[in-house]
A and B are shown apart, each in its own frame.
Chain A
Amino acid sequence: MNYIDKIQPIHLDILKEVGNIGAGHAATSLSTLLNRKIDMKVPSVRIVPFAEMMELTGGSEKEVVSVSLSIEGEAGGNMFFMLAVEEADRFIQKLMSDESFTFYDRHSHSIGFSAMQEMGNILSGSYLSALGDFTQLKLQPSVPELAVDMFGAIISYGLLEISQYSDYTIVIDTLLTEMDEGDGEVVKGHFFLLLSPDSFPVLFEALGAGYNE
């Protein structure tokens, strides 16, 4: 039986809580770092075919800035923090007070790239450490890598291992939004957590909801 077929509604609720705790901590870190208001949506946890996964956030050709890392340890998978390029540009322009900044020009703006990389490190680090505390699992993140490219080209890396088992993936998607003083939305960033199939039994076991209950 395919691992996806064993997933019950309670498991999806647990994964929602995983997203909630992880991204909640990341949102707090970001808010502290920037001294701004960060809004977090309830995580969306869904079982989607690969084709649908590739069309999230505006399609597989959509140009994004991504900080990605792989997770190893007692549970494994991949995590991506992604922003649309124009929003990431605005974010770094404001952070560095440099209106000429753009992610399309790596050479003249290397400090902005470092700033984004560092922010990605902090956010994914707080997401994962919260997840580790919550589950009591040992999780080791790789060094996060920054990429400016098409959404599909990046997220497909998170599907590679899963594709050995299935044509479907479980995606834990949490949206963080930076708000301005008038509660207007400024910048939106997505956290995508794609766990490897082996990780689900471990995770559910750790949280007291095995597959066979």
Chain B
Amino acid sequence: MNKTGEIVKVGIADMNIVKPPDVIRTSGLGSCVGVVLYDESTRIAGMVHVMLPNSGLARENIKNKAKFADTGIRALVSELEKRGARTIRLKAKIAGGAQMFQFKSGSDLMKIGPRNVEAVKEQLQAARIPILSEDTGGSSGRTIEFDPSTFLLHIRTVNKGEQTI
């Protein structure tokens, strides 16, 4: 980790932008998906912590775009553009979308992890942003940290150790 940089945090249903020497981090991803978009030439990166696949799931008018895969990724792309990144140069790394519980009697929402991953991929494909690496699915929670100076995504889990993708 860079000693002089700060850690920019991204909460649940939240997004943020980072430039070196800072790094960007979100912790405790379960069924949620962390999406990192970065532009290698300007070294600007953004992360969104998506909770639900589709803004159509909102029962009331919700202003927080970062909560949904569709509106969240669109909002992050437009924020990155504003800060000087170019959509055509953006690349993605994604992690999360675990299925932590079985809850047989539970609603469809309990199987949301894989649906979130699928929705994120569809949205990225629509925006023509390639996914360079991913660590999705499984049954473990994740904490992820992206360093915009190395373009590496570090992933920590409780049960399956750590890895960098």
Residues on A facing B (Cβ under 8 Å): 2, 50-51, 54, 59-61, 63, 68-70, 72, 104, 140, 142-143, 145, 147-154, 156-157, 159-161, 163-167, 197
Contact = CB atoms under 8 A, between A and B. Distances in A.
A2 B60 contact: yes
Contacts, number: 113
Given A61-B28, A160-B112, A154 B141 contact: yes
Interface string B78-116: 000000000000000000001011111111011010000
Contacts of A2: 60
B28 A152 contact: yes
B57 interface: yes
Given A50-B13, A161-B107, 7 more contacts: A60-B28, A140-B105, A145-B103, A152-B30, A153-B141, A163-B51, A197-B59
Given A70-B103, A160-B52, A164-B52, A149 B140 contact: yes
The 8 A-B pairs with the shortest beta carbon distances in the complex, nearest first, are: A152-B28, A153-B141, A60-B28, A153-B30, A150-B141, A51-B11, A61-B27, A149-B141
A68 B30 CA distance: 14
Given A147-B100, A160-B52, A59 B112 contact: no
A163 B52 contact: yes
Interface of B: 11-14, 27-32, 51-52, 57-60, 62, 64, 67, 98, 100-107, 109-110, 112, 140-143, 158-159
14 contacts: A2-B60, A54-B11, A60-B27, A145-B103, A147-B101, A148-B159, A150-B143, A150-B158, A153-B29, A153-B30, A153-B140, A153-B142, A156-B51, A167-B13
Scoring B14, B98, B103 by chain A CB atoms within 10 A of each residue's CB, the highest score goes to: B103
A145 to B, nearest CB: 5
A72 B59 CA distance: 20
B104 A142 contact: yes
Contacts of B159: 104, 148-149
Contact of B14 (A51, A156, A164): A51
Nearest to A160: B109
A54 B28 contact: yes
B103 to A, nearest CB: 5
Contacts of B112: 160
A103 to B, nearest CB: 10
Contacts of B98: 153
A86 to B, nearest CB: 13
A157 B101 contact: yes
